[in-house]
Every structure is written in C-alpha cells, then in structure tokens.
C-alpha cells in the first residue's frame, strides 16, 4: 500500500502495515483502528498529545503557524468584521448568514433567552455563596429535564432548535448564577437588546431598568464595551478537540442528553489548567502587586528550582503567538485609550508582556502570551467580576460544544469512547 506506514515488531520480526489518512489541512494521520487486532498491542499516548480522536470540519488550528479558522474562515476576519451571532450561525450552518438570516437568528435567540420558572426556582436550592460555575453547570444539567426530547437524527430543524435554545439560555443562567451568588434580584432578559448587550444588562441592571454606573460614571452600556465582550465570545467560540470539547464528545458517545453533555463540558472548563486560567492570571497580577515587583517574579519564573509559574504564557497547541491573543492585545490597547484605562493591573500586565516578548528565556521556549493573559485584563476593564471570567468563556464556547455534539451524532462511524490502559498494579 503506497499511502501507508510500516511498523516492525523487533521482538519477533513481524511487519504490520497501516493506512495513512489525509485531511484538507494539517498533518496526515495513521489509521491505527486495527492496531490491537493485528499486533496484540495498545498504543500509549499520555494526554492524547498525538492522537486524532475524530474527523471534523468545524475548526482548524495550526499551532506552529499560529493559525485558527472556523469553517475555513480566519479568526481575525470573524472577530474584526462580524459579530458573535454571525459566528454562531457559521458554526451551526457552515456558512455566514445573509442580512435576513442574521436578523431572524438574532430575534429568535432574544426570545429564547428566558428561563422556565421552574428552573429559576432551582437557584434557591444552592448555597448563597456558591461559585457561579458550580451553579451554571448544575442548572444546565437540570435544563435537560425541562427539554427532555429525543432528537430525530434525520431532522435538521430539531437539531437547530436544540442548539439555538441552549445558546440563548446560557447567558441568562450565567447572569442569574452570579446575581444569586451576591444576593441580588434577578434581572430578566430585555428583548430590545442584542445578545452581548443583554448579558451585560442582566449583570449590571437594577430592578426597574436602571443601570449600574460604568467606570466613567455613566449609567449606560457603551458600544466599545459591547464590541469588546462580543469579540471575546467570538474568540472562545470553538477550539478544536480541547479538554472540555473532548468531554462533550465523550458524554455524547454514551447517548446522554445534549444539555447533560454541555454541563459536563462546563465542569471540565472550570479547571485552572483550562477555562479557569484567566481567573488565575488576574489573581497572580494581584499577588505581584506593583510594577516594581515584576522583575522579581520574572526571575522566579526562570528559576528551575522555583515552583512559581507565570500564568497566561505558553499554550498546549500554539508554538507561535496565539492568534486570539494578538486580537485581544489590540483590543486591550483600544480599551485603554477609549475608556481611558490605566489601572494598576494593566500596568503590571504590560510590564510582564514587554519583558517576556523580548527575553531570550521566553522566546527560546516559545512562551508567548496566550488568550488568558489578555482576556482577564480586558474583562477586569469591563468591570466583570473575577468569578464570572470562566462563565464568560462558557457563553462563548457553548456554540462550539453544541456544534461538535451535532457533528458527533451525525457521524455514522462513531463509537462510545473507551480508551485502554497500561496496567501497572498487582
């Protein structure tokens, strides 16, 4: 076979051949689906660092080049020239919407953003100081009990309804989770507001519609704030087969309800090594305390005998500048000018960035600032509470998870996820 790879077992001289599959972009893969039946061996790939678990036409990443595309379109084009809902439509429908489709999609999500009263009552069962991520994950799982419909795998309309419903409701659940955690009354969605503006409104508003004053003392939501958060949602919309997406696909493989799979993805995202990283970035900047302390902590990060790690640098996939981080860096500079921001945390972050981008230690190890480094600073500038950083990530990523779930369910070759192991016990 020409398009194949040959493996020799040096213990007995046996030779095995496995086909090579070519994608439209990125590395080819070796089809080892028959490896065990042919060789009697399992492969060992700790953390699945070199294993392709599926075929997909949703998102493409080239970590060496710093490239990210949704449905073939570069992330910079989507973030700078389109809004988040257009990106959602693209992921769900494999094309950008025309003007009519965009308006209809927006209007549908506005009306689907309200929660069932029974679900709202569920919030009272949580401790008053519960972290919004815990409440968000639990409420999303409970959402399956209100919409326990069995999807017709041949009915595209049912998939679309299921997807649009959860995309619309997650911001409301997230906002309610936060307001419950601080003992504030819930603010219902306002259908006269756009998707992203509505989320900020539900976080900031007082009963009766009055708004909490922003950093400039204005009781309104500025367009620059909406655009900034909308861009963050777009940049988080999907990211190939990361830990939380793999979790969603794994739960999907069992036949569980899609909203249960999304709940599992939310729980996976909460981890400090995944979606919780931007919260950790801000916590570290607060710990550093001032620009004068930056050099000391940079030295600690470079000391092999010190366990201190600089948060927000390096990425599992990107060995170049994270393309999402590039966009957020420009956005951060714009926010600083337009909102007249010059906060202590931003000063510390910019000092760290300046050193890291010019220091041989970071350059040689390809430790570039990642999306978490900039998103935490920007969310702080938008007056979004630290406990809501990861829920913001959830809002943006929900469309990716549900699109990946749909792709998995439509693939006739899928099987229940069942990795094997190297047993080392008694």
Identified catalytic residue from 239, 257, 315, 322? 315
**Residue 163 Cα to chain centre, angstroms:** 16
**Strands of the sheet with 73-74, listed across from one edge:** 59-62, 67-70, 73-74
How many whole angstroms from its chain centre is CA 335? Answer: 22
Count of other CB atoms within 10 angstroms of residue 6: 9
What is the C-alpha to C-alpha distance for residues 283 and 277, in angstroms, rounded to an integer? 10
In degrees, to the nearest 5, what angle opens at C-alpha 404 toward C-alphas 21 and 164?
Answer: 150
Among 189, 185, 141, residue whose Cα is nearest residue 166: 141
Helix (H) or strand (E) holding 79: helix 75-81
Note whether 99 and 63 are within 8 A (CB).
Answer: no
DSSP string, 211-276: B---TTS-SS--HHHHHHHHHHHHHTS--SS-HHHHHHHHHHTTT--HHHHHHHHHHHHTSTTTTT
Q: Which two tokens stand for residue 341?
A: 């921001």
CA 377 to mean position of chain CA atoms: 17
List Cβ neighbours of 221 (8 Å cut-off, separation of 6 or more): 197, 200, 201, 204, 211, 214
Cα(45)–Cα(183) distance, integer angstroms: 46
322 a catalytic residue: no
Place of tokens 């689906």: 33
Active site residue 315: yes
- Dihedral sign of CA atoms 144, 150, 154, 156 in order: negative
Q: Which residues are catalytic?
A: 315, 372
């Amino acid at each position: 076979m020409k398009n194949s790879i040959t493996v020799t077992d040096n213990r007995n001289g046996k030779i095995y051949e496995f086909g090579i599959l070519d994608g439209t972009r990125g590395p080819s893969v070796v089809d080892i689906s028959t490896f065990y039946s042919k060789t009697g061996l399992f492969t060992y790939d700790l953390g699945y660092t070199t294993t392709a678990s599926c075929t997909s036409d949703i998102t493409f990443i080239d970590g060496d080049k710093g490239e990210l595309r949704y449905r073939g379109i570069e992330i910079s084009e989507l973030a700078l020239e389109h809004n988040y809902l257009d990106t959602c439509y693209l992921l769900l429908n494999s094309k950008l919407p025309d003007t009519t489709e965009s308006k209809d999609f927006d209007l549908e999500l506005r009306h689907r953003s309200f929660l069932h009263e029974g679900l709202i009552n569920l919030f009272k069962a949580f401790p008053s100081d519960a972290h919004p991520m815990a409440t968000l994950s639990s409420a999303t799982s409970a959402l399956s009990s209100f919409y326990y419909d069995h999807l017709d795998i041949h009915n595209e309309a049912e998939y679309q309804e299921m997807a649009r419903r959860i995309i619309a409701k997650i911001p409301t659940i997230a906002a309610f989770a936060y307001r419950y955690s601080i003992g504030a009354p819930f603010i219902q969605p306002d259908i006269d507001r756009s998707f992203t503006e509505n989320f900020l409104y539900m976080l900031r508003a007082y009963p009766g519609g009055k708004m909490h004053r922003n950093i400039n003392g204005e009781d309104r939501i500025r367009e620059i704030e909406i655009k900034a958060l909308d861009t963050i949602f777009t940049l988080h919309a999907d990211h190939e087969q990361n830990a939380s997406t793999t979790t969603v696909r794994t739960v999907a493989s069992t036949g569980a309800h899609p909203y249960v799979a999304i709940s599992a993805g939310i729980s996976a995202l909460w981890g400090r090594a995944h979606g919780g990283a931007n919260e950790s970035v801000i916590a570290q900047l607060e710990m550093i305390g001032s620009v004068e302390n930056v050099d000391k902590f940079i030295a600690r990060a470079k000391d092999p005998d010190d366990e201190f790690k600089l948060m927000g640098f390096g990425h599992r996939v990107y060995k170049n500048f994270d393309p999402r981080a590039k966009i957020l860096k420009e956005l951060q500079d714009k926010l600083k000018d337009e909102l007249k921001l010059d906060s202590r945390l931003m000063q510390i972050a910019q000092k760290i960035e300046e050193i890291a981008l010019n220091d041989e230690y970071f350059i040689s190890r390809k430790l570039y600032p990642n999306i978490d480094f900039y998103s935490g600073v920007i969310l702080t500038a938008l007056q979004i509470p630290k406990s809501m950083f990861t829920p913001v990530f959830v809002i943006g990523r929900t469309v990716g998870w549900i699109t990946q779930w749909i792709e998995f369910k439509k693939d006739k070759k899928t099987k229940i996820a069942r990795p094997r192991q190297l047993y080392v016990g008694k």
